[in-house]
Structure 1
Amino acid sequence: MKPAPPDEDLVLLFAAIAAATSDEVMRRVDKAGHGDLRPSHGYVFQHLIPGPVKVRELAERLGITAQGASKAVTELEELGYVRRRVAGDDQRNRLVELTERGWAAVEAGRTARAAVNRRIRALLGEEQAGALLGSLQRIAERSGGMALLSSRRLRQP
């Protein structure tokens, strides 16, 4: 079977659009004062938005080892985006939570995504944007992607 040319390969087009829009979001986040963040940090942040979690639980949600999650937390802690605190009365258990700087980065990401969404809608026009959105929602629902998104279980590709 002959492969589809890249401009007709839906999987490649999704990957290209995801990469380009992620880059644009990160440029905007950088301009908002968070140039030390990488896209991978967003996968950590998504699990801290609902509230503090233990590193072990964070690792499970990210699908990585506890050592890998601890490394990511240490990096974000050094950058001032997260902090660890004692979980209740048990000194052995520490919770990871967003700091004020972390919440500012979350807001910068949301603002950046909103701007990129507006740019794409303007490029397509409202009618085509609405049709595209409907198609993408159906694909996301049927592929299981919507469940991952809704449960904050997206993983880094």
Structure 2
Amino acid sequence: MDATPLREDLSLLFTALTAWSQGEVVRQLAADGFDDLRVSHGYVFQHLQNGPVTVRDLAEKMGVTAQAVSKSTGELERMGYVARTPGADLRIRLIELTEAGREAVLSARLARAEVNARMRLALGEDAEAFDKALRTLAESTGALEELAKRRLRLIG
């Protein structure tokens, strides 16, 4: 297959870079001792960084069912990254990050910073213009707003 169409398809290029960057972050997480985490766990973690939430609220924020959230948070609880605690209404359980969960978030942030630095180094003097172009695309498509609201997630 001729590689030229691949080099011209922005969607595929973004997909390739996303896969590469996520792989690098997962590898660094594993090197830091978080070898049981997957990219999909990050979608739960991002909604727990501001404090405990209910399963129902987490499901709403993630755009999935409460059953799906219960399954993923149960897995993360068994792994030691989240804990369930009683809410003001004892019938409602809150999900929150544990110390290990907060350490994993920090590890992921540091890994993303390293990935960003490597990409900017590869771009050299074009890095600033590239950053500006990406921000323009992210803003004009609404993707940046969705990301800021922590509602952006991969489909599939």
- The residue that corresponds to 1:35 in the other structure is 35
| 1:25-71 deviation digits (Å, cap 9, x = unpaired) | 11011101100000000010000001110001111111111000000
Give the AA of the match of 1:150.
A
User: Residues 126-141 of structure 1 correspond to what in structure 2 (within 5 A)?
Assistant: 127-141=125-139
Does structure 2 conserve the Cα–Cα contact (< 8 Å) formed by 1:54 and 1:94? yes
Distance 1:109 1:153 in 2: 19
- The residue that corresponds to 2:114 in the other structure is 115
Normalised by the length of structure 2, the TM-score is: 0.95
| 1:129-157 deviation digits (Å, cap 9, x = unpaired) | 11111000000001111101111112133
Does structure 2 conserve the Cα–Cα contact (< 8 Å) formed by 1:40 and 1:156? no
Q: Work out which of the residue numbers 142, 145, 151 in structure 2 matches 1:144.
A: 142
SS in 2 for 1:92: coil
Distance 1:9 1:155 in 2: 21
Distance 1:9 1:83 in 2: 43
Q: Which moved more, 1:116-125 or 1:29-38?
A: 116-125
- The residue that corresponds to 1:101 in the other structure is 100
SS in 2 for 1:34: coil
- Does residue 19 of structure 2 align to residue 25 of structure 1? no
- The residue that corresponds to 1:78 in the other structure is 78
- Does residue 10 of structure 2 align to residue 10 of structure 1? yes
Give the AA of the match of 1:122.
L
Count matched residues.
152
Distance 1:155 1:18 in 2: 12
Give the AA of the match of 2:145.
A
SS in 2 for 1:36: coil
Q: CA deviation at 1:118?
A: 0.9
Distance 1:156 1:120 in 2: 21
Normalised by the length of structure 1, the TM-score is: 0.94
Q: Which moved more, 1:146-155 or 1:11-20?
A: 146-155
Q: Which runs of 4+ in 1 moved over 2 A?
A: none
SS in 2 for 1:83: strand
Distance 1:96 1:12 in 2: 36
Structure 1 unaligned spans of 5+: none
Q: Which moved more, 1:115-124 or 1:30-39?
A: 115-124
C-alpha RMSD of the superposition: 1.0
